[in-house]
Amino acid sequence: MDEKEISQAVIGRLPRYYRYLGELRSEGTERISSRELSRLMHVTASQIRQDFNNFGGFGQQGYGYNVEYLYQEIGKILGLDKLHNLILIGAGKLGQALVNYMNYRNRGFIFRGAFDVGESVVGRSIGSVQVYPMEKMEAFIRSHDIDIAVLTVPKTEAAAIAERLVKCNIKAIWNFAHTDLPVPETIQVENVHLSDSLMKLSYNLHRFENEGGK
């Protein structure tokens, strides 16, 4: 099935399925039903079956899902069966925290280098990742086959850097700058606005309290 037919809501749930299946796999669970998975994830069994049916189903009625097979297949759908070379742009506290979250490597996301304008960080390393001056970014992208750029710069700088990335034929941007990037539709952008997430949490808390904490 053409992936364009899959809703973003379904795609948004796939990483969560992958995470839970990974935990089941590490615990030695070989098979699980949609009802059992439903209890773990607090998603209805019907929703799970509908989601999986978008990709062929993966299971047999009355037999459930093979955890290892389902884990591997969802990983393929998410593109996790391939290595992705990343660079970090903006080696401040947030950027350093992202690089130091080493679980990325287990998912096939490898930071190859970092870039910044600050003299205090250029020339240093974040773990095993070297921080280079910004003027070396374009050449580095081309020579290291970088496909994803992680952007943790101030929003006033983000658009200009995105324009440079476009010219380097970068394929995707993980954008932590609090602004929308003016890039072609062919470049995949995932915006992460931390304050938006906190405001959503505040809304849900406010609603819960107004409903009497039920």
CATH code, domain with 191: 3.40.50.720
Q: Are residues 129 and 170 in the same domain?
A: yes
Q: Are residues 185 and 110 in the same domain?
A: yes
Count how many domains the chain has: 2
Q: Are residues 98 and 188 in the same domain?
A: yes
pLDDT at 2: 46
Spacing of C-alpha 89 from chain mean position: 16
Query: Of 77, 95, 128, which residue constitutes the final position of a domain?
Result: 77
Kindly state whether residue 206 falls inside one of the protein's structural domains. Answer: no
Residue 70 lies in domain: 3-77
Q: Are residues 73 and 92 in the same domain?
A: no
In this prediction, residues 178-207 reach a mean pLDDT of 91
In this prediction, residues 44-59 reach a mean pLDDT of 88
Q: How far apart are CA 53 and CA 56, in angstroms?
A: 5
Kindly state whether residue 59 falls inside one of the protein's structural domains. Answer: yes
Kindly state whether residue 18 falls inside one of the protein's structural domains. Answer: yes
- Structure-derived torsion over alpha carbons of residues 97, 106, 51, 208, reported in degrees to the nearest 10: -30
Query: Of 47, 62, 77, which residue constitutes the final position of a domain?
Result: 77
Q: pTM for this structure?
A: 0.83
Q: Are residues 62 and 113 in the same domain?
A: no
pLDDT tops 60 at residue 1: no
The pLDDT tens digits for 117-162 are 999 999 999 999 999 999 999 999 999 999 999 999 999 999 999 9
The pLDDT tens digits for 60-76 are 666 789 999 999 999 99
Picking from 46, 55, 69, 42, the residue whose alpha carbon sits closest to that of residue 14 is: 55
Spell out the residues 6+ positions from residue 64 whose beta carbon is closer than 8 angstroms to its own: 31, 32, 33, 34, 36
